[in-house]
């Protein structure tokens, strides 16, 4: 938590405002896509309109970002959603959630994207495995964002909310995880959707194949997740409640094969690698997940025939068997609930079909 005093000049009198907290919430799969600020007005502070208050003290934030965050219900005073016209009083605690705008300097690339749904404000892509969602270290081209920039450049410019269309990320999935991801096409939609993903009021289900035979048909995995102390590239579950970030995964068994289990997962939180780390933690690593050791035989009869079958399955599905199957949220324009479903990709389907042919022990 940061503390600083910021002066506000009104006429000849200088007032103080204490910035009690101005920090982003980190540690989740989507958290670094947002800025979350908390500002507390000092005793004696002059009353200001909420939008003027934010524009004054969030120095590097455009008025359009503040306006859209307010319209989307992402600005709170004393934990209640307030309109831009609200007058901030001394002692008021003002919180605001701001999604980061997409970087403007990227070059559009014509990529093979599977558009699942599109309208004036949002677009859903059924991401193929192997595609990185956004640029980062070692991934400067060929990302989903590059492809979206090309796609948006082919559309009519402007839709009443922004001068131009641009892709805005509100969540993401791992490079080798397939499935649905929603993209905001304007700043208002970006702010509207950001709130739902930030507070986990959206609904997401994943389908996965895990090693071993889960004992229960339904269950919940709870455990704080953070970067491994031994290998910073991977994540782990911490027993110490002061380490990592709180994470909860609910699962339901869809099909059993004895040596493996096909499951549906619902995320209560959205930590990086959450499903992969949680299942590894309980001894059921995701099938073909080389990052966490799932690309070797972890269960089964270990016979020659079984080894051959698993080798075939690993070739058919050479990445973690994890698919973001469904996605539900409230639409930014209609304010109605929308739910989307996607087919299981061919590589996971092929592995499942092979498992079904193998006699269960």
* Catalytic residue IDs: 174
Buried b or exposed e, range 31-70, using 16+ CB within 10 angstroms = bebbbbbebbbbeebbebebbebbbebbeebeeebbbbbb
- 127 has which bridge partners? 179
Q: Map residue 205 onto helix, strand or coil.
A: strand
Neighbours of 147 (CB within 10 A): 20
Rg (CA), the chain: 23
How far apart, in whole angstroms, are the C-alpha atoms of residue 32 and residue 26? Answer: 6
How far apart, in whole angstroms, are the C-alpha atoms of residue 185 and residue 54? Answer: 24
What sign does the dihedral 279-284-288-289 (CA atoms) show?
Answer: positive
How far apart, in whole angstroms, are the C-alpha atoms of residue 349 and residue 262? Answer: 11
Q: Running DSSP on this structure, what letter comes out for residue 224?
A: E
Q: Which residue has the tokens 């009021």?
A: 201
Neighbours of 252 (CB within 10 A): 14
Length of the chain as a residue count? 361
Order of strands across the sheet that contains 34-40? 4-10, 13-22, 34-40, 93-99, 75-77, 80-81
User: CA angle 146-99-43, nearest 5°?
Assistant: 160
Q: Where are the alpha helices (DSSP H) in the chain?
A: 50-57, 63-71, 144-153, 187-198, 274-281, 304-316, 346-357
CB 272 within 8 A of CB 316: no
How far apart, in whole angstroms, are the C-alpha atoms of residue 220 and residue 208? Answer: 15
């Amino acid at each position: 938590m940061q503390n600083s005093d910021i002066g506000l000049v009104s006429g000849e009198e200088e007032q103080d405002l204490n910035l009690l907290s101005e920090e982003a919430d980190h540690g989740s799969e989507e958290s670094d896509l947002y800025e979350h600020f908390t500002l507390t007005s000092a005793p004696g502070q002059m009353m200001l309109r909420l939008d003027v208050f934010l524009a004054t003290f969030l120095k590097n934030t455009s008025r359009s970002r503040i306006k859209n965050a307010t319209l989307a219900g992402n600005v709170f005073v004393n934990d209640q959603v307030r309109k831009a016209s609200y007058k901030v009083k001394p002692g008021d605690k003002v919180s605001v959630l701001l999604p980061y705008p997409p970087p403007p300097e990227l070059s559009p690339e014509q990529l093979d994207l599977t558009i699942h749904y599109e309208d004036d404000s949002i677009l859903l892509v059924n991401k193929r495995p192997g595609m990185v969602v956004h640029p980062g270290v070692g991934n400067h081209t060929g990302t989903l964002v590059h492809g979206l920039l090309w796609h948006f450049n082919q559309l009519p410019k402007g839709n009443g909310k922004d001068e131009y269309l641009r892709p805005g990320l509100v969540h993401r999935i791992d490079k080798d995880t397939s499935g649905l991801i929603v993209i905001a096409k304007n700043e208002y939609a970006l702010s509207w959707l950001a709130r739902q993903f930030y507070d986990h009021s959206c609904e997401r289900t994943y389908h996965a194949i895990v090693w071993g035979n889960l004992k229960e048909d339904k269950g919940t995995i709870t455990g704080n997740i953070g970067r491994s102390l031994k290998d910073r590239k991977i994540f782990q579950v911490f027993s110490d409640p002061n380490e990592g970030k709180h994470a909860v995964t609910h699962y339901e068994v869809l099909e059993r094969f004895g040596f493996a289990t096909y499951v549906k997962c619902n995320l209560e939180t959205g930590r990086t690698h959450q499903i992969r780390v949680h299942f590894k933690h309980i001894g059921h690593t995701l099938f073909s997940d080389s990052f966490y050791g799932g690309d070797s035989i972890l269960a089964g009869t270990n016979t020659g025939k079984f080894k051959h079958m698993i080798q075939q399955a690993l070739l058919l599905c050479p990445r973690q068997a994890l698919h973001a199957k469904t996605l539900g949220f409230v639409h930014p324009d209609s304010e109605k609930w929308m739910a989307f479903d996607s087919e299981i990709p061919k590589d996971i389907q092929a592995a499942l079909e092979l498992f079904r042919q193998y006699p269960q022990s």
